[in-house]
Structure formats: C-alpha cells, structure tokens
Amino acid sequence: MLASAVRSSRGYGSLLAAAALSGSAFAALNLDKVAHADAPPAPPKGALNPNEFKAFKLVEKKQLTHNTFLYRFELPDGQTAGLNVASCLVTRAMLKAKPEDEKPKMVVRPYTPTTKPDTKGYMDLVVKVYEKGVMSKHIDSLKVGDTLEMKGPIPKYPYQPNLKKHIGMVAGGTGITPMLQVIDAILDNPDDKTQISLVYANVSEADIILKDKIDALAAAHPGRFKVHYMVDKPSWGGLFWKGGVGFITKDVLAAHLPAAAKDNLVMVCGPPGMMEAVSGNKAPDYSQGEVKGLLKELGFDTTNVYKF
C-alpha cells in the first residue's frame, strides 16, 4: 500500500481519495514535456490532436462502482482516437476550481482512455468522481449530447512487443487504466511473449474497477497474465474474499511480481501515497526520479521501474 499506510494507521481509502488532488498541479505542467524521455514516433492520425484541443460528444455513461463511471465519447466519421501505447490525454474546461473563486478558470486534467488504439467510432474514459474533484465532477455533470474538450495523445511509456520478458504492475484505484492499455497490447498480439503480473489494490471488492474484464483476460491467458487483488476492507469480514487483505507489503510484491532484473520491468500507477511507498513519487519536474520504497528494498532501480 502506501508509505503512510505502511507505517501508520492512515487508511487506504483516504489515500485513494488523495488521487483526486494529485491532478491539481498538472494544470501548470507543460504538457509537451510529459512524454517519456525515449518518446515513440509520431502517433498515428486519429480524432485526437496532440497540438490542439477538440470537443468530443458524450454518447453514453455507465456506472462501474459507487463513484466510478465509464464515459463514452463519439469519434467522428468512424475514426480511431489516434492513441499509442502507452499514452494519455488531457481534458480542459472553464470551471470554478475553488468555492471562493469569483470567476471560472481553465482547469486541465489528464486521463487514460481504456479503449484499444484500433477502436473506431468511440473512446472510453473511466473516471472516479471525487467530492473535491473539480474536473471529475464536471465530467459527471455532462449529459448525453454534451461535449468535452480533449487534447492528445500525450506519450508515456513507449511499449514495444517483447521489450521485456516479464512486466509487473502495481496499480491502485484508477491507476489501472494505463496498465490496461499495456495489458491489451500484449495479450492481443500472439507474437508478444511478455508475461504480465498485476497487483491491484482498492478499498473494497466493490471498488475494483473493470474487474470482469481483468478476470476474463486472466482466464483467457493463464500462462501469460496473472492478477492478485488487494483490498483494505473485505466484505463479510473476508469470509468469501480470496484475494489479499490489508496493505501492500514487501512480501506481497516479492510473491507476485517478477524479480529485479534487466529483462523485467515494474510499472506503478496510483494515488501519491501508494506511489511513495511502492516506488517513490516522480520528481518535482515530473521526470521519473529515483526509485524508493518497497521496490528499492527488493533491488529495483531506475532501469527496471516506470512510474505513470
């Protein structure tokens, strides 16, 4: 779990809630510098534009958990989004970021689409709606037919088939979205022999996002994809829960992730507290920064850890 959670009584729920605040600094970030140092070639042409914001129409909304929704946006003329793996996009809107604000201000937040790059005609965003989440509340207020401005893709990790022998993933809450981009890319390619091991942490079973999809992928690819769920508060006292309970620990990661090696990689994405405990957060300039926390204790370093 997260550094404060590992070392204190602070609950995982509050750490996940902190994710809503993590985007606040993003508005000031130069989005052209978000890309990984080894950025991939120019993304394929699609409905998204990496250089300017475009408005996309909401065509469907589906509830996934008590506070997480899938929002489907139309891509005109049957286009693809133009995403590459792995990449995100940014949304923007004129909003009152704080109750005391007299006038709306431009708010910018990043999200990772969960649709595959070759999906035509629509693009899905999975968004957790937080009480203090300015953009997430705005997206949730949209009605079918309303539009949201987006820009992208913003390149992240330049994944290539068979780049590594084994990729481990540690995700918390909506941190699962970039992982699913990579998971889909690997499992959809029969020539990609990369193994995947996912540790996915949430407050409770009911908070696990897209669990049906994850379980279906694991069942369809038993030799290539394994998942270990962790929850802070299992229902019924854990009587029927078969996953892990409590905080992510060094022992949990050692048991479910590949060992530290040049041919292996661990990706991490989640609330700031989780990042700090597992891998260390990114540096203040949004570069990868040094590897800290549990992964450092397990022998990992900057050559085999990537922080989304």
Residue-wise pLDDT tens digits, 80-117: 999 999 999 999 999 988 877 889 999 999 999 999 99
Q: Phi, psi (5° rounding) for residue 288?
A: -60, -35
Is 111 flagged in the annotation as binding? yes
Tell me the mean pLDDT in the region 192-211. Answer: 97
Task: For residue range 10-42, list pLDDT tens digits in order.
Answer: 333 333 333 333 333 343 344 434 444 444 445
In 4-104, the DSSP E strands lie at 54-63, 68-74, 87-95
Is 268 flagged in the annotation as binding? no
Is 10 flagged in the annotation as binding? no
Is 179 flagged in the annotation as binding? no
Task: For residue range 131-156, list pLDDT tens digits in order.
Answer: 889 999 999 999 999 999 999 999 99
Residue 291 and residue 280 in contact, taking contact as beta carbons nearer than 8 Å: yes
Is 109 flagged in the annotation as binding? yes
As given in the structure block, the two tokens for residue 194 are: 């990369």
All structural domains of the chain, each given as residue ranges with its CATH number in brackets, are 54-155 (2.40.30.10), 166-307 (3.40.50.80)
Is 267 flagged in the annotation as binding? no
Is 234 flagged in the annotation as binding? no
Distance CA 184, CA 249 (A): 27
Is 80 exceeded by the pLDDT of residue 3? no
